[in-house]
Amino acid sequence: MKVELLDNVKRKTIEPVITQTVKPGSRVNTDEYQIYDWLKDHYEHKKVNHGKGEYARDEDQDAKCEVHVNSIEGFWSRLRSWLRPHRGISQEKTTLVFRIL
């Protein structure tokens, strides 16, 4: 995984990073944030709706939650814990994009 700092979380900023990194047709799980709506045109895009209390979904009833963003949620939790003693980083520097290399 590579963490990359971006200027903002706008589609025009994140789309090139994602399309250069993720192969077309790959499965991409996100939350319901509208900035990800374009993903369905290039990828198998699945969403969990945190706003409705959904955090994982078992789509084929096999007792495995195939749709979730728990891995990245865990990463954020660890990153926040690591940053706490350093008094964090400025709000302007908190937009990160993750690439699995």
What is the per-residue pLDDT for 16? 92
Note whether 54 and 66 are within 8 A (CB): no
Q: What are phi and psi of 93, to 5 degrees?
A: -110, 20
pLDDT of res. 100: 41
Q: Domain coordinates of the chain in residue numbers? A: 2-99
> Which backbone phi and psi does 57 adopt, to 5 degrees?
-140, 130
Average model confidence (pLDDT) for the chain? 75
- For residue 50, what pLDDT band results from cuts at 50, 70 and 90? confident
Give the residue from 36, 35, 18 showing the smallest Cα distance to 26. Answer: 18
**Predicted model pTM:** 0.63
Average of per-residue pLDDT across 79-100: 59
